[in-house]
Structure 1
Amino acid sequence: MASTVLHTLTVPWVRPPHRMDLLLGSELPPGYEVTTAFVIALDSADRMLLTRVDLPGRGWGVPGGHVDPGEGVVAAAARELTEETGLVVPAERLALFGGQRITLLEGRPADYAYPERAYMAFYTVRLDRPGAPTSPPPGTECGAAEWVDRAEVPLRCPRAEWLPLLAALEPIAGTPGG
């Protein structure tokens, strides 16, 4: 399946001149290094699992983080989901559905830690039951994990660049709006 560009923007947390494309698609874009992996977990009530990072400027967001050297992207997504929420989902249950493609426009500065062409992969998993209460394991950067109604997600994550990706996901059949 070819990727569809949902939105193009720039973000303040990427310093060099750049373009970020929000992509909807089930394949990783060729020529881009996957640096991070995230999971949008939905339960049978169409609630979404969010995490809260208790660091300045962070707050509520999607579970995810960096891909470790030598680690597969989907394995990183499953690992980050467990580390940040306590929810254990086998990697083979995760489905790639899009991401954030970042292209530096003037080359990579020497002090910039990421590649000129980076991709932040977003996976989804849909549980066939209501999401059980979760809690980040001790020692993680996350202070809380919580299942929230999808309508509440933009209120908790108002500046999240990934919101158009969430809007592109179909509601679960049998839920309000589904």
Structure 2
Amino acid sequence: MAISSHLARLRAVIGHELIQLPSVVVLVVDDDARLLLVRHTGEQTGWAVPGGAVDIGESAAEAAAREIREEIGVQISQPRLLTVLGGTDYEVTYANGDRVAYVPAVYEAGIVDGTPVPDQEEISELDWFTRSQLQSVDLNRFSRALLRATGHLAS
């Protein structure tokens, strides 16, 4: 997980303590209504919805477009805000011990330029899934909760 210089400075002061952090996730959909999921490099926790933290001075919509461009190398359409989530389902403890309570703004967007390719720094693999396939996909806890909250998975 790459972190911003701002977050690195905070971590230097608070260590691994739980921090609440604004973030974005993007439900990237194609013309066949399939959803793009990713696997994070070095993690064995299942498929995930792409996204990341909102940087200082950046809007959530700008962060959504930046994260997708950085992680999978494509330009997305104007992201449409679906919901904002939070709570224990969105708390993550990283391998280094850092604890984060994410407050994700959930967007939906299509690809307007480029072909998705994992950056191999944060993302090691990606694939497209239909709604019916999502029911049996090995999802990480965060993404499973998010897809349930947005109606993509049955409760």
- TM-score (ref. length: structure 2): 0.65
Going from structure 1 to structure 2, the CA distance change for 1:154 and 1:87 (only over 3 Å counts) comes to farther
Partner residue of 2:35 out of 7, 28, 48: 48
Q: CA deviation at 1:53?
A: 0.8
In the alignment, is residue 94 of structure 1 matched against residue 75 of structure 2?
A: no
Query: Unaligned regions of 5+ residues in structure 2, if any?
Result: 1-16, 89-97
The residue identity in structure 2 corresponding to 1:102 is G
**Do the aligned residues in 2 keep the contact of 1:83 with 1:136 (CA within 8 Å)?**
no
Three-state SS of the structure 1 residue aligned to 2:38 is: strand
Which structure is larger by alpha-carbon Rg, 1 or 2?
1
Q: Which residue of 2 aligns with 1:136?
A: 118
Going from structure 1 to structure 2, the CA distance change for 1:63 and 1:155 (only over 3 Å counts) comes to same
In the alignment, is residue 163 of structure 1 matched against residue 151 of structure 2?
A: no
The residue identity in structure 2 corresponding to 1:143 is S
Partner residue of 1:71 out of 25, 36, 58: 58
Tell me how far apart the structure 1 counterparts of residues 33 and 100 of structure 2 sit (CA, whole Å): 34
After TM superposition, list the pairs within 5 Å mapping 1:107-122 onto structure 2. Answer: 119-122=103-106
Going from structure 1 to structure 2, the CA distance change for 1:99 and 1:154 (only over 3 Å counts) comes to farther
Specify which structure has the higher proportion of helix.
2
In the alignment, is residue 145 of structure 1 matched against residue 126 of structure 2?
A: yes
Identity fraction in percent: 28
Going from structure 1 to structure 2, the CA distance change for 1:158 and 1:57 (only over 3 Å counts) comes to closer
RMSD: 3.3
How many residue pairs match? The answer is 125
Moved more, 150-159 or 81-90: 150-159
Going from structure 1 to structure 2, the CA distance change for 1:166 and 1:132 (only over 3 Å counts) comes to farther
Three-state SS of the structure 1 residue aligned to 2:22 is: strand
Q: CA deviation at 1:59?
A: 2.8
The residue identity in structure 1 corresponding to 2:58 is E
Three-state SS of the structure 2 residue aligned to 1:162 is: helix
The residue identity in structure 1 corresponding to 2:151 is A
**Do the aligned residues in 1 keep the contact of 2:30 with 2:110 (CA within 8 Å)?**
yes
Q: Which residue of 2 aligns with 1:175?
A: none
The residue identity in structure 1 corresponding to 2:117 is S
